[in-house]
Structure 1
Amino acid sequence: MFDWMVWTTPVAVFFSCIALMLAGMTVWEIKSPTTLRRGWLPIETTRGDRLFIGLLLAAYVNLVFVGFAGKFQEWLSLDAEPSIWISFVASMLLLALVMRKG
């Protein structure tokens, strides 16, 4: 069923983290309903809104990293392409920032 997708360890960890975040947010929403608040994003958002925006940003960070990995290797004179774990960590930090301050 999932033969069309390349299931590497980073991809599996990324999607597992998303599933865990959705489950955690569901429990959190049931225990403590959210209210609108304004952070540095230009709109008032709820926790769910910030999670959605953060997940979109995380996906874009990973896609840009994959797209430029060959260029990074060339620009930085590396022997191999940089690890995808770098973009995973960067995207999760960005997601945490959006969830906390957005």
Structure 2
Amino acid sequence: MDWMAWTWPTAIFFTVIATLLIAFTVLAIRFPETPRRGVLGMETTRGDRLFITLLGSAFINLAWLGIVGAYQPYALIVCLVYAAAVFRWV
């Protein structure tokens, strides 16, 4: 990891994102879905909801960092609740 000066948390973060993308690609191939209309009134697929979740989680973490400080484990819990809500209702 010295070639990019990565830390372990950074490597884990990108590994999780890559794993999610691979898993959602396999799901899309094995179990195709039709877009569904959620609370927002727009049609979304699994991939759309994953993108909305990742984008929202980034904003949640930035807001948490600005308001609370560097202690992020509780922000992860908020992001998981947000992700569950997005995949359930959006």
Q: TM-score, normalised by structure 1?
A: 0.71
Task: Give the 4+ runs in structure 1 shifted more than 2 A.
Answer: 11-20
Gaps of 5+ in 1: 71-80
Determine what percentage of the aligned residue pairs are the same residue: 40
User: For residues 19-98 of structure 1, what are the structure 2 equivalents within 5 Å?
Assistant: 19-70=18-69, 83-98=71-86
Q: Compare the two structures and name the one with the higher strand fraction.
A: 2
1:12 Cα shift?
4.8
Separation in structure 2 between the aligned mates of residue 12 and residue 62 of structure 1, nearest angstrom? 18
Amino acid at match of 2:17: I
1:19–1:44: structure 2 CA closer, same or farther, 3 Å change rule? same
CA RMSD of aligned residues (A): 2.0
Gaps of 5+ in 2: none
Separation in structure 2 between the aligned mates of residue 67 and residue 94 of structure 1, nearest angstrom? 19
1:50–1:39: structure 2 CA closer, same or farther, 3 Å change rule? same
Partner of 2:4: 2
Q: TM-score, normalised by structure 2?
A: 0.79
Separation in structure 2 between the aligned mates of residue 99 and residue 12 of structure 1, nearest angstrom? 26
Separation in structure 2 between the aligned mates of residue 56 and residue 2 of structure 1, nearest angstrom? 24
Separation in structure 1 between the aligned mates of residue 13 and residue 25 of structure 2, nearest angstrom? 19
